[in-house]
Structure formats: C-alpha cells, structure tokens
Amino acid sequence: DGDACADSDWSEPVTFVKEAETGLVYTLIADGAAYEVTGAGTAKGNVEIGDTYRGKPVVSIADSALSGSQLTGVVIGNNVTKIGRRAFYNCSAMTSVVIPESVTSIGAYAFQSCRALETVAVPSGVTALSEYTFAYCKGLKSVVLSEGISSIGAYAFSDCTALAEIDIPDGVSAVGDCAFYNCAALGTVKIGSAVRDVGALAFGGTKLWSDAEELVFADKWLVGC
C-alpha cells in the first residue's frame, strides 16, 4: 500500500524551546512546591530572576545568596516575597536592582556595600527597613520609600555619601539611630507627619547638621555628634 509509510499525526514536527538559564543556583523549598535563589553560580552581568523556574514559582532569595557576586544589574521576579539577610551584600559592581511589589521582607544588610548602586525603590509591601539595609551604598543618588513603611532601622542608609535628598513618608513613625549618618551630601529631607521617634545621630554628619547648630523634627531635638 503506497500510504503505509505516510506521515501520521504523531510524526508531526514538534518545537521545543529550552528555558533560558541565567547561571543562578536555585533550590527547591516548601516541600518541592517552589524555588529559592541560593547562589550566584556562574551568573554575572545583568540577570533576571524569573517569576518561575522549571515550572515552579521563585519565591525568595536566600541569606547571602548573591553576596559578593559579579552581577551588574538585577530584575527580581514578581513571585519573590522575601530578600534574605546579606542577599546582595558587597555586590560592588551592581548599578541597578528592580524590586517588585510582591516583596514584603528585606533582611538586614541585604544591599550593604553595593557601592555602584544608583537608585532604589522600596515596594509598598515592605513595612520596615532593617538595620544596615543600604549602608555604604556610596553611589546611591535616588531613594523612593513607599507609604507602607513604618520604620527605618539603625544605619539603614548610613554612609550613602551621594544621597542629596530623601522623602520620608507619612507612614514612618520611627527613624533609627544613625539611619542617615555620614550621608555627606544630604541637604534636603522631607519628614513625614507621623515621625515621633528619631534616633541618636540619625542625621549626624549630613549637610543638615553642618548647616545648623540644632535640628528639630516632629517637635524633637536631634542630639548632635
């Protein structure tokens, strides 16, 4: 029969597209239901942490996962809710990071010493900035804090020497000790209406301090250096 070797439905060509790999290291968590970024692996330069990896959501970046890596830019996927302690610590070449609205927790020291980082926007789901979160980000020029933040931890932005202005939202009630200490260029600060607790040296070593003998915010005196 001349039709015996004719193509059937199962012999139709099949197209397969391999999922692009960034070189990052992912580890299964939540009883195998989700992934967490646990290492930089071979990744360098600009990378995107996708919403999913191998068909499962990527929900977190582990403590110290990308610390000291050669990343220059990072876009974090929309399923990530947690950025761990020291997750990006000392990523000295990283100039940009996009943090999605899905993130609700950023650990202490998470971006400390990211000296080339220029801008950052903290999403509305983050209610508190931990200690040293962006300390020593010496290239940081623009910070956008959401209305959802209620407190700024100790040393959160200390030694961000390029930061010239900051708008502290109305939702913030507490600014920790040395939160903006030694931000030498800082000369313009808008203080939200809810701020009632300003820690020692919170604005010490800034232009605000050098341009005035005494500072008053929310009817409280800032104790000098």
Which residues on adjacent β-strands are paired with residue 27? 36
Instruction: Write down the pLDDT at residue 186.
Output: 95
pLDDT of residue 18: 41
The whole-number pLDDT of residue 118 equals: 98
- Specify the pLDDT at position 21: 77
| Interacting residues of 6 by C-beta distance below 8 A, sequence separation 6+ | none
- pLDDT for the residue numbered 26: 98
* Model pLDDT for residues 57-85, shown as the tens digit of each residue: 999 999 999 999 999 999 999 999 999 99
Name, in order, each residue with C-beta under 8 angstroms of 220's C-beta and a sequence gap of 6 or more: 196, 197, 198
Entry field: residues in the chain:
225
* Lowest mean pLDDT, pick from 7-11, 12-16, 127-131: 12-16
Integer CA distances (angstroms), 49 to 17, 86, 96, 219, in order: 19, 17, 14, 44
Q: For all residues of the chain together, what is the average pLDDT?
A: 89
pLDDT at 220: 45
Predicted confidence (pLDDT) per residue in 131-187, tens digit: 999 999 999 999 999 999 999 999 999 999 999 999 999 999 999 999 999 999 999
pTM comes to 0.86
**For 180-218, how does the pLDDT look when each residue is reduced to its tens digit (9 = 90+)?**
999 999 999 998 889 989 999 999 999 887 655 445 554
pLDDT of residue 63: 98
